[in-house]
Structure 1
Amino acid sequence: MSFVEKPAKPYKIQLLITNTSKIITIGTFDGVHIGHQKILNRVVNLAQIHGYTSAVLTLFPHPRMVLQNEHSIKLLNTIDERIELLKSYGIENVIVKEFTKEFADLSAKDYVKHILVDELKTKQIVIGYDHHFGKNREANISDLKQFAKRYDFEVEEISAQDIENVTVSSTKIRKALDNGEVDLANSYLGYNYFITGEVIKGKGLGRTIEFPTANIHIKESYKLIPNDGVYVVKSNIEGSIVYGMMNIGTNPTVDGKERSIEVYFLDFNQNIYNKVLKIEFLKRLRSEQKFMNIAALKAQLKKDRINALAYIESQNE
């Protein structure tokens, strides 16, 4: 039986305890990219072979948010998105442990004994060769193997060669998105990068120029938003795939000051205020620009619409 521990907001997350034996991997898994997916597949396969439950132990908030008070850090996934992605790759138990200063102060022994063994019932751990844990990251993979002998679990080490064979990293994905290169980011991720946000009321300018937009509010300030520009996107709205053009930026043509996210959905005319949408990025059309006037902006949006439709048609052939 699978379960997902749903974190309360903002960060109050409790560790759930189950009595099932588990094969587990541990990490931040920001992005759940193709490198992570290789590890997850191994965990799922081993669990099926041995009759155990597949599990991921992940920490939230990010350690740098807690230890260095660095709230400017941007992550590829919100914690809810991370849980959704981990489950989509077959992980039965997603266990989110709140990262606190007290947790950071746990000795390696207490971490292994009380959390991995007593609480999680770990029977096997699949982990990278460079894994460190415990207070001040005092213990490494060799120490973990010694603990495994003492507490009767196994360790499968992911070698340096295996990790290096997958050249992707969360850092590379963040850089690609910061540059607006969503095609490159999507190739690293193995899926389309997406945001999740609520449709809220905007100023209504788009409707006056025949391009009504849905304004998207993302409540998690740590979620990474791609570079300013115009993108082709898609969303599943009440069971139907709807394509659109998303603008990220400050709307300089009308002297906008605050950064916003707006989507003009193609051939769509429904009331979606207050709905929470998952919106996937497909392609970047252009950078955000300041036009001479509203008429010039409207003319460019018509060109953008033609280019977006051409791209969508090419992908659906």
Structure 2
Amino acid sequence: MKLFDNQKSYTKHPSVITIGTFDGVHVGHQKIIEQLTKVGLKKNLQSVVLTFFPHPRMVLQKDTNIKLLNTIDERKTLLSKLNLEALVVKTFTLDFANLSARDYVKTILVDELNAKHIIIGYDHHFGKNRSANIEDLKRFGKEFGFEVEEISAQDIKDVAVSSTKIRNALSEGDITTANSYLGTPYFFSGIVVRGKGIGKQIEFPTANIHIKEDYKLIPKNGVYIVRSSIDNKNVYGMMNIGTNPTVDGENRSIEVHFFNLNKDLYSLNLKVEILNRLRSERKFESIEHLKEQLKLDQEQALEFLKRYE
């Protein structure tokens, strides 16, 4: 897959395009992209996804509370695995948002991306104030020489429902539902930073993960079973998301204890996949009680992993 960080650098090869945020790149999105690549092969067109960053709400509404399933780098990585020929990431700006519908179609889709076939949802809106719809796009298609293929109402519903359900499930700690819609384990990536060292004192050393993108959705506080790749090997462990109330913690943190791993992880960039949830975070009467619970958590996690593999 070729990556273009702006549409002006695109190679101008005649293309079949689909357009959207594709947050999560879940099973609904994958179905649309599968159709995109099929059309590309059949018509000898380059299959292209046009996506946007920052999210329009970040620009138009200055929404600093928006939470996304993927960072832009994660989205690029996930889309690269779907047999796409090109991904174009358009920087979303106020100037772009103010383009008229016709200017957007003529300048971006036709002149720069050489669109010959566009696959889009029946409820797609575009142009300034999102004033144009799919019927307008079909009219532009006749004018500029491209075909418009409508994604069915049911497929659009599946995509919308999936995105909403994934976000809601993660906010509720329901990893099983989230992962079923994603088709793969939910994950995040971050740098291992130094913590307070309490885990090491109680024989459960942890890697403290710092995620720089504040718009990345972090699941509900609790204890989870996780997997990472370290030195090209799958390593499993358990993770706590929360404030560590037993030791009077105040700030939310992400801490991972890897099983049977003796390695300095500081400054490493780790991808952490979440496989299952063990329990809610809680305050224990003492450090010893916490330690006993962690032993039980580990036993439960290892039992789960026997079945998982």
Does residue 1:218 correspond to 2:221, yes or no? no
Shift of 1:169: 2.4
Distance 1:167 1:70 in 2: 20
For 1:4, the aligned partner's letter is L
The equivalences for 1:1-317 within 5 A come to 2-5=1-4, 15-164=8-157, 168-316=161-309
Shift of 1:15: 4.9
Contact (CA 8 Å) 2:4, 2:10: kept in 1 or not? no
Could you give the per-residue CA deviations for residues 246-300 of structure 1, whole angstroms, max 9, x where no partner exists? 0000000000010000000011111221111111111000000100110000000
Distance 1:278 1:81 in 2: 10
Distance 1:87 1:140 in 2: 29
Contact (CA 8 Å) 1:253, 1:297: kept in 2 or not? yes
Shift of 1:5: 3.3
Distance 1:131 1:165 in 2: 15
Q: How many residues align?
A: 309
**2:9 alignment partner, SS class:** coil
Distance 2:251 2:219 in 1: 16
Shift of 1:16: 2.8
Contact (CA 8 Å) 1:25, 1:127: kept in 2 or not? yes
Shift of 1:54: 1.0
Distance 1:15 1:34 in 2: 30
Runs of 5+ unmatched residues, structure 1: 7-12
Shift of 1:34: 1.0
Shift of 1:163: 2.9
For 2:17, the aligned partner's letter is I
Could you give the per-residue CA deviations for residues 185-230 of structure 1, whole angstroms, max 9, x where no partner exists? 0011111100011111111111110000001010000000000000
Compared with structure 1, are the counterparts of its residues 218 and 91 closer, same or farther at alpha carbon in structure 2 (3 Å cutoff)?
Answer: same
Shift of 1:165: 5.6
For 1:112, the aligned partner's letter is V
Contact (CA 8 Å) 2:24, 2:75: kept in 1 or not? yes
Contact (CA 8 Å) 2:7, 2:112: kept in 1 or not? no
For 2:165, the aligned partner's letter is K
For 1:110, the aligned partner's letter is D
Contact (CA 8 Å) 1:173, 1:188: kept in 2 or not? yes
For 1:51, the aligned partner's letter is N
Shift of 1:30: 0.8
Compared with structure 1, are the counterparts of its residues 110 and 200 closer, same or farther at alpha carbon in structure 2 (3 Å cutoff)?
Answer: same
Distance 1:69 1:162 in 2: 30
**1:88 alignment partner, SS class:** coil
TM-score (normalised: structure 1)? 0.95
Identical counterparts, % of pairs = 60
Runs of 5+ unmatched residues, structure 2: none
Compared with structure 1, are the counterparts of its residues 14 and 56 closer, same or farther at alpha carbon in structure 2 (3 Å cutoff)?
Answer: closer
Contact (CA 8 Å) 1:15, 1:96: kept in 2 or not? no
Question: Over aligned residues, Cα RMSD in angstroms?
Answer: 1.3
For 1:294, the aligned partner's letter is I
Distance 1:245 1:55 in 2: 38
Distance 1:271 1:15 in 2: 44
Distance 1:72 1:167 in 2: 20
**1:170 alignment partner, SS class:** helix
Contact (CA 8 Å) 1:43, 1:54: kept in 2 or not? yes
Could you give the per-residue CA deviations for residues 94-153 of structure 1, whole angstroms, max 9, x where no partner exists? 111111111110000000000001011111111111111000111111110110111111
For 1:289, the aligned partner's letter is R
Contact (CA 8 Å) 1:35, 1:168: kept in 2 or not? no
Distance 1:231 1:5 in 2: 36
Distance 2:242 2:158 in 1: 37
For 1:259, the aligned partner's letter is R
Shift of 1:14: 7.0
Could you give the per-residue CA deviations for residues 59-114 of structure 1, whole angstroms, max 9, x where no partner exists? 11111111111111000000000111111111221111111111110000000000
